């Protein structure tokens, strides 16, 4: 089951994000929560002790259950919100499947996987 909740003011195609996530995340349950930069900054400080907003936070609760928190403001700042939101969801799902991006080598591997997954999603 995949649930998308919009907790911020901007209009977002939540159905598209749910469909995208369903195409990539086929086991367990996933919650995607769309927030503002202000909300994201609060969560980033609380859970990562890092001040300021970030683009996406991922929480793996085990047993096939996960949550992806996405900053819609961050996506709009990048100028292509629909593409950025898709990227953030893909990034979060990759974290849930074992990818990490803490080291340069891990980041390269993660970026390559993001490109592959986004390319697959664009094929008819």
Q: Which residues pair with 108 in a beta bridge?
A: none
Q: What is the pLDDT of residue 26?
A: 84
Q: What is the pLDDT of residue 124?
A: 60
Tokens 């499947």 -> residue: 97
Which two structure tokens, joined as six digits, stand for 80? 């292509």
Q: Which residues pair with 30 in a beta bridge?
A: 2, 66
Q: What is the pLDDT of residue 107?
A: 97
Which two structure tokens, joined as six digits, stand for 54? 């970030």
Superfamily (CATH H level) for 2-122: Metalloproteases ("zincins"), catalytic domain (3.40.390.30)
Q: What is the pLDDT of residue 81?
A: 95
Q: What is the pLDDT of residue 120?
A: 86
Q: Name the band, by pLDDT with cuts 50, 70 and 90, for residue 9.
A: very high
Hey, where are the domains in the chain? 2-122
Higher pLDDT, 122 or 46: 46
Answer whether 84's CB lies under 8 Å from 16's CB: no
21 pLDDT higher than 70: yes
Mean pLDDT of the chain: 95
CA atoms within a 13 Å half-sphere pointing along the CA-CB vector of 116: 8
Task: Quick: pLDDT tens for 64-118.
Answer: 899 999 999 999 999 899 999 999 999 999 999 999 999 999 999 999 999 999 9
Q: What is the dihedral of CA 94, 98, 103, 105, to 10 degrees?
A: -80
48 pLDDT higher than 70: yes
DSSP state of 8: S
């Amino acid at each position: 089951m995949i649930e998308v909740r919009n907790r911020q003011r901007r209009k977002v195609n939540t159905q598209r994000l749910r469909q995208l996530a369903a195409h990539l995340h086929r086991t367990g349950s996933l919650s995607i929560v769309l927030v503002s930069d202000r909300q994201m900054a609060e969560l980033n400080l609380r859970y990562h002790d890092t001040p300021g907003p970030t683009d996406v936070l991922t929480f793996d609760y085990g047993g096939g259950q996960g949550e992806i928190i996405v900053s819609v403001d961050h996506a709009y700042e990048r100028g292509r919100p629909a593409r950025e939101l898709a990227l953030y969801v893909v990034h979060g799902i990759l974290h849930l499947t074992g990818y990490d991006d803490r080291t340069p080598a891990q980041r390269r591997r993660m970026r390559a996987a993001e490109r592959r997954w986004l390319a697959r999603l664009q094929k008819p």
